[in-house]
Amino acid sequence: MTNKIYTSPVAAYVEFDTYRALETYLLDVRHPSNIHVVITLAVREWLANARRRAADAPSTNVRGYLWKNLFLPDGTRLRTEVAGTVWYATVQGDRLICDNEPTSPHRFANRFGQAGRNAWKTISLLFPYETQWRPAASCRAQQPNGLYG
């Protein structure tokens, strides 16, 4: 793709108020460019920014484990303590794994001899790219609709 601005017009919908505000601004500052050139440049800049954000963002094919309504992305670590011993599980792909076995948060929280434990209250989470463990219950309460992200 070249940087040349083509003169063959293509119609695109722009809300009247937006178009009028741009036109008024260009007249007020005595901008030398035609409004169509400015709109073309603005769209190109928007595309460049969108491509940059997409390149910097995690894959759109995000894998993870959905715990009720809390999404745990691939790589999230879970921790619970039973009788002074700390146990860990990890989200791998779309499964929660503890000791190389698939599990659920409830089973993870209760598998070490402690029946009836509330997983939301006994599990802490360490999300990818974070450095602080957080209580699962607070993550559930803090996220809009309970979703992490």
Place of tokens 């741009």: 22
pLDDT value at residue 60? 58
Q: In what order do the strands lie in the sheet with 134-135?
A: 101-103, 95-98, 85-92, 77-82, 124-126, 134-135
Report field, pTM of the whole predicted structure over 0.85: no
pLDDT value at residue 106? 93
pLDDT value at residue 149? 45
Q: What is the mean pLDDT of the chain?
A: 84
Percent of the chain at pLDDT exceeding 70: 85
- For 82-130, what is each residue's pLDDT tens digit? 888 899 999 999 999 999 999 999 999 988 766 788 999 999 999 998 9
Question: How open is the CA angle 99-131-122, to the nearest 5 degrees?
Answer: 50
- Domain range annotation of the chain: 16-56, 64-146
